[in-house]
Structures are given as C-alpha cells and as structure tokens.
Structure 1
Amino acid sequence: MPVLAIVQFPLRLTGRRMLAPSVAHLTFSRDDGQPLDFIPGQFIQVHFQYADGTPTKRSYSLATIHDHALGPGDAVEIAVSYVPGGAATALFENLAEGGTVQASGPFGRFCLMPNDANRRYLLIGTGTGVTPYRAMLPLLEKAIAERGIEVVLLFGARSPAELLYGDEFRAFARRNPGFRFVPCFSRELPEAGSPQAHADVRSGYVQQFLAEFAPDAGGDIAYLCGNPNMVDACFEALKDAGLPVPRIRREKYVSSK
C-alpha cells in the first residue's frame, strides 16, 4: 500500500505569554484558510530543521478550550517547555509575532470517548502534560451536568510558579462541584493565605496520593499524561487497584531538545 504523505499547514503566531519561568503558552491561527478539526486530547506536530538542515519535528498537545471544530482564524494553542540548548526552544524563542511555523495533525487518541459510561474520571498529569485536560474542560463540564460524573484532577508541579493553568482549574472547580482540583507540589508549597493554598493542596508527588482517592475498577476511567516515570508508576498502581488496562489511558511526554 502507498504511504500517504503528511499534509502540513502554516500556523501564524498571534500571541505569547509565560505560564511558568520555562513554559510558554503560544497562540497561533491557521494561516491557510482551513479549519483545524480536533478532539480535545489530541496533539499537533511542528516541523522544522536542525542547523545542519536535517528535518525534525516535535509534538504538542492542543491546549485550546473549545466545544466545536476550529474554523479559519480561530486560536490554536499549545504549551511549550523551553529547554536550554534545545532546537525547538530556539525555534519558538526566535519566532516573532506574525511569524509562521509548519505543522501537521491533529493526531492521537488520548481523548474522552463518547460511549464512556463511567462514574468518575481520574485525570493525572505533570508539567505540560496537563494541557490536554485544559482542552477537555467543556466536555467535562457537559459530562458533569448530563451524567452526574465526578472528576478528580491530580496535577504535579515542583512549585506554585510551575502550576500551569492553575487559576483556570481552580475557577472551573468553583463553578463545577463535581470537579476536584488537587495540586501536588514536590519542592515548594504555596504561601499560607495565597489563592493557591487551598484545602486540596498536597506536598509530594502525584503518585503518592493516588490511593487516597480509592481507584475503583468498576466506576473509574483514568488518564495519565506527562513524566514517563509518573505515568509508569500510576499505571502499575491503577492496575494493582483492579482497573482494566483499557480503562487506563496514557500519554508520555519525553523531553526533546
């Protein structure tokens, strides 16, 4: 069978803001007049070349919050970790507003499934691995309203400064009692009295607190995204709790320069 070529399209940078000291939230628009029809949880690939001309690519989960297909001109959002000396870091740091990159996609099946009949979602992430969960918020809000499900988001970060989209997740939890946001800080806790210092803050790694939420083989579907060591540890813990492998959906983020 012939191998189909991956279709690339241009993305034009329309905005940039820092989420953390080494993580940027980048906003693009598709620059060829075509829509980007994606399912929350999917990713795109950005194509570029090393200094010697060798082609390469990097994958980024779409962070865009939406409940419809993205039309021409709609925002396409990703979170990018800046790695010292990284080729992709140099690409994005040197990309001026209005500049373009080539992308392809969307790809991936790390998505909420329309036929899910669970009672609870356990969403577990570290670092930029939380971006697909941001994109899922409208679908989760709908599932909470229509099916009465519960959602727990266990999110691991080293410090409050690195808690990506933390304000948005806290605001979503206030609007939706079925959604519980549990930030886990491995190095530094929020200051007492700060907005980040709420009752569900934990000190340690996300995998340390999974058992606290009593994973249920009959009612839970779990999503794991981020650091490979975290993903592997939580995967084994969830299997030990009885969750069938098809109810544990995972995506590992491997840091690439």
Structure 2
Amino acid sequence: MKQFPLKLVSRRMLAPTVGHYVFQRDDGEPLDYIPGQFIQIHFQYADGTTTKRSYSLATIHDHALGPGEAVEIAVSYVPGGAATALFEGLADGDTVQASGPFGRFCLMPADANRRYLLIATGTGVTPYRAMLPQLEQQIRERGIEAVLLFGARTPAELLYGDEFRAFAERVPGFRFVPCFSRELPAQPHPDVRHGYVQQFIDEFAPDGVGDIAYLCGNPNMVDACFEALKGYGLPVPQIRREKYVSSK
C-alpha cells in the first residue's frame, strides 16, 4: 500500500467535538479521487504499534477541471482516543502519512434515477459535501432531484449546515432537511424536523422505480433506514450504505 505525506494547511471546529482539517499532499502529486471515497491516516500508538483510521473526503472540487490540491476531512474527537490525540496535536505545517483514496460510496455514471435520497448522521454527511458539484451537474443536465436528510442532536452539531442550506437555496432541485433529535434552532427553517431521520422517510414517499438512496452514519440509523426503504420497494442495489463508527 503506497503512502504519501499530507501537510496540514488549516483547521477549524465544525462542532464542539468535530474538527474540519485541510491538508495538501506534500509530495507534489495530486489526490485524484471520486466524491464519496475515503482516505486512511496512518499513525502509531504510544507503544510503537501502527494503526490507521478512515476518513471520508469532504473536499468540494469541480472534477471537470482536474484533481484539486486540497484534501479536506472531518474528524470526530473521542475522549482518550489515539487518533484524537494525533489530530489535536497537529500544528499548521505538520505532516501525517496517508493512503488511498478507497471506496465505492459514490454517484454512479450509469445511474438513471429521478431522485437521490441522501441520508446521514454526524460525520456521515461528509461524503455528501464532496458530491455537491456532481449533484448540481446532474440536476442541471438530467433534471433529477436530491433530498438530504441530515440528523444531528442540536444545531451546534449540524456539520456544514450553512453550506447545505446555501446550496439548497441556490440550486433548485436540491432540498436540505435537518432533523434534530434534541434541540431545535431558535428560528427553524420550514424544512427543519424534530426527531430522527428515519422518522421522516415516509414524508418523501420513496419509490423503487425512480429513487436511489445513500445511507451514511450511525449503524443503527443505517440499518433502520435500509429496512424502511426495502419496505417501500427499493431494490437492495439501489440502497447504498456506509456505516460510521467512531474509533479511538
């Protein structure tokens, strides 16, 4: 497995326990990826044993212009976690070793659907951020629709929420539906819902003929939505899944 160095350019907090990290390859090579893929960060435990963690690419890039330089990921901080200690200890200009990209949780060129149902919780929303240019192109060229149901406990934990709302306002055909399980915003948008994402699938009347669904995030949510969508007649190949489990 070929590894390459990533140099930290900047970071900011997306939520109280989630950081957004911007890297660039430090070997002069581009990272040619497909939105929805992930990279692996390699590091050592204190006892010297090696390990790795997987992070979906959050980079927004117009691939018609070629591979971009930025490598963006969202990192959940886990108390006492070795990966958390690594990322919290990074300063601008520091490097980490990475490999990839990997994965097939991507929009497929052969898709002939009428709508994408994108469902996520937590950092599981990261790959959908990277997909936004592709979705905009498909909405424009194929006339499809896309709905993003994104579950968070509170408004402070709605990762990239302002970006998704701005995209929805700019791009007809894309709808952003935040679902808050604990606390609602002070002045909620009409598309805001109170509860868990799986509670609102019925509202969008999934259709086995015209819909393709993507599920990413908490394994319990993924399983519940998978069963619900099968009940609506979506064939299993039209329900694409990726489960996120926070690793220390």
What TM-score, normalized to structure 1? 0.95
User: 1-side partners of 2:27 and 2:137: how far apart?
Assistant: 32
Partner of 1:19: 14
What pairs up with 1:184-223 in 2 under 5 angstroms?
Answer: 184-192=179-187, 197-223=188-214
* Alpha-carbon displacement from aligned partner over 1:22-76 (angstroms, at most 9, x marks no partner): 00000000001111000000000000011111110000000000122435xx110
Partner of 1:3: none
User: 2-side partners of 1:199 and 1:120: how far apart?
Assistant: 21
Percent identity at matched positions?
83
Offset, 1:241? 0.7
Partner of 2:2: 7
Offset, 1:160? 0.3
User: 1-side partners of 2:31 and 2:216: how far apart?
Assistant: 23
Give 5+ residue unaligned stretches, structure 2. none
Residue-pair matches, total: 246
2:213 is equivalent to residue 231 of structure 1 = no
Partner of 2:233: 242
Output the amino acid matched with 1:39: I
User: 2-side partners of 1:214 and 1:18: how far apart?
Assistant: 35
Partner of 2:23: 28
User: 1-side partners of 2:219 and 2:49: how far apart?
Assistant: 27
Partner of 1:93: 88
Offset, 1:211? 1.0
2:146 is equivalent to residue 155 of structure 1 = no
2:119 is equivalent to residue 128 of structure 1 = no
- Backbone CA RMSD of aligned residues: 0.6
Partner of 1:70: 67
Offset, 1:177? 1.4
Output the amino acid matched with 1:59: S
User: 2-side partners of 1:33 and 1:176: how far apart?
Assistant: 34
| Aligned partner of 1:82 among 65, 77, 85 | 77
User: 2-side partners of 1:173 and 1:238: how far apart?
Assistant: 24
What pairs up with 1:150-189 in 2 under 5 angstroms?
Answer: 150-189=145-184
Output the amino acid matched with 1:70: P
User: 2-side partners of 1:191 and 1:238: how far apart?
Assistant: 32
* Alpha-carbon displacement from aligned partner over 1:117-154 (angstroms, at most 9, x marks no partner): 00000000000000000000000000000000000000
| Aligned partner of 1:103 among 98, 102, 117 | 98
**What SS does the corresponding residue of 2:13 show, helix, strand or coil?**
strand
User: 2-side partners of 1:70 and 1:14: how far apart?
Assistant: 18
What TM-score, normalized to structure 2? 0.98
User: 2-side partners of 1:252 and 1:129: how far apart?
Assistant: 8
